[in-house]
Structure 1
Amino acid sequence: MRKRRAKKKRRIRILPTLPILIVAALGWYFTQTLQGIGAAIVLYFVLSIGFKAWRKSRKTARLRKAGMKEVDVMTGEEFEQFLGELFKRRGFKVTYTATSGDYGADLILKDREDIIAVQAKRYSSTVGVKAVQEIIGAIKMYEATEAWVVTNSYFTKQAIKLANINDVYLIDRQELIDLILNKK
């Protein structure tokens, strides 16, 4: 068992260096100089960084173009990214919290005077009281002036009642559609 783990770790360490070795070998093959090896490695890193930036921009563009049909099949993390892009378009400075241990907030929105803690819930059923309770706890943790819960679904009557008592702003499916369509 111990030997298998050691082999697996060794393979993992070798894997990222393999493309660099191949690129270095190609640089040597075509130029027969150390400068050719260096140039090939530099070109490899420039191209890989460019490719990663291009992929990220494509993902961001895909999120910006998404509608409710796409939102309904997103994962929770993709939904948070989608909301981040949506709120950036609306002029907010968006910060994403850690995936776990986020104290009930998934996004922190900032504008000139407000700090808004946002709980994102991509559900296929109604969102209950727990989501509102979680965001109430996040208000003090993030020194927020407002708390929002955003969902692609709807809220239960109990969640709406608790939100009204605690001044939590709820954005349900219809209001999210309006935000996507820039109606509000």
Structure 2
Amino acid sequence: MGLSAVVPGLATLHFTQSWQIAAGVGAAGFIVAVFILINVRLARSARLKRSGIGEIDRMDGVRFEQYLGHLFRSQGFRAEVTQARGDYGADLVLTQGNRRIVVQAKRYTKNVGLKAVQEVQSAKAHYRANEAWVVTNSQYTEQAKKLARSNNVRLIARDELVEMLLAMKAGTAAAAKRTSA
């Protein structure tokens, strides 16, 4: 933000040789930058609220798994939520045509580590799946990212989950609009 005041101010000073005009232009640049920053934060906050990620942050793990089942069904998958205990590392099994995907769901307040990637990778073999995903409302440690890359495990972190939620809500709203028309 400092650059938004300094650069226009110095450029104005260079061309006008007037400190007063340069200070005015610098102040105006700073005010515009603050205005833009506030609007970006408000838009981001409204977007997160629309997505429902705050509700997910308050769910327990089992409810998160069930919610993900609903989310993936909205994307055209057949989603089976596995039993809570003894799931062999998969919380959901998704199928779509020839695709079979095992999903490890982690509703965390901290970063997801190696264990989730290891669990879903072993579940891939057990459930005879061709893909393995870990989905979280949080982020991943660097070790988890590295292991996922080397084992071809897809990691879906908070930002991508928010995008998926917004797409689901947009699709639900469009379907409701079509049925009421």
Structure 2 equivalent of residue 174 of structure 1: 159
Structure 2 SS opposite 1:98: coil
Structure 2 SS opposite 1:181: helix
Displacement of 1:92 after TM fit?
Answer: 0.3
Structure 1 SS opposite 2:58: coil
TM-score (norm 1): 0.63
- Structure 1 alignment gaps of length 5 or more: 1-64
- Specify the code of the residue in structure 1 equivalent to 2:53: M
Alignment partner of 1:71 is 2:56: yes
- Report the more deviating stretch, 163-172 or 90-99: 90-99
Structure 1 equivalent of residue 123 of structure 2: 138
Distance of 1:81 and 1:89 partners within structure 2: 13
Alignment partner of 1:124 is 2:109: yes
Percentage identity across paired residues of the two chains = 52
Runs of 4 or more, structure 1, over 3 Å off, are none
Distance of 2:82 and 2:69 partners within structure 1: 11
Which structure exhibits the higher relative contact order, with contacts defined as CA atoms closer than 8 Å and separated by 6 or more residues? 2
- Specify the code of the residue in structure 2 equivalent to 1:67: G
Displacement of 1:66 after TM fit?
Answer: 6.9
Q: Is the 8 A contact 2:102 2:123 kept in 1?
A: yes
Post-superposition Cα deviations, 1:123-163, rounded to whole Å, max 9, x if no partner, equal: 00000000000001001110000000000000000000000
- Count residues with an aligned counterpart: 119
Alignment partner of 1:110 is 2:95: yes
Q: Is the 8 A contact 2:69 2:79 kept in 1?
A: yes
Alignment partner of 1:157 is 2:142: yes
TM-score (norm 2): 0.64
- Structure 2 alignment gaps of length 5 or more: 1-49, 169-181
- Specify the code of the residue in structure 1 equivalent to 2:122: G
Structure 1 SS opposite 2:160: helix
Candidates 72, 85, 96, aligned match of 1:100 = 85
- Specify the code of the residue in structure 2 equivalent to 1:135: V
Post-superposition Cα deviations, 1:80-120, rounded to whole Å, max 9, x if no partner, equal: 01100000000000111111110100000000110000000
